[in-house]
Structure 1
Amino acid sequence: MNFLAPQVRELSIEFARVGGVEIPNNKRIEFSLQYIHGIGRSRDRKILCDISMDNKVTKDLSKEDLITLR
């Protein structure tokens, strides 16, 4: 019998879920938060300032950063 090794495919996550809304991975957090209803430019900057988080690309967030953001 010839057993084939299971093929492992790389997962491609295109969105992160914050506040019940999927925010895109390819944008900076400041702009990604604007996808959530009621959050504009001034509020998203205040959120980042309040939690002391850098404005990095969403896909570069660690698990702890994402939990803090939620």
Structure 2
Amino acid sequence: MSTTLTIRLDDKLDVQLTRLAQETGRTRSELVRSFIRQQMARARFERARRLIEPAAERAGYLTDEDVFRDVS
């Protein structure tokens, strides 16, 4: 199934998207779908991080270095 989504872009963003599509040999739609997927993955990651952060802090993981120390 496929759904069409209509969005409005200001002129500058439209030019940038068109230029990037031409430079990469991808369509504007392909680029936008990719950007949406990336942003959704980031949002899921940040949500998971917020959920586990209290438990990680209780376990002594306060920085990325704390994690790297134990997994390296």
Q: Which has the larger radius of gyration?
A: 2
Higher relative contact order (CA 8 A, sep 6+): 1
> What is the TM-score normalised by the length of structure 1?
0.25
Bigger proportion of residues as helix: 2
Bigger proportion of residues as strand: 1
> What is the TM-score normalised by the length of structure 2?
0.25
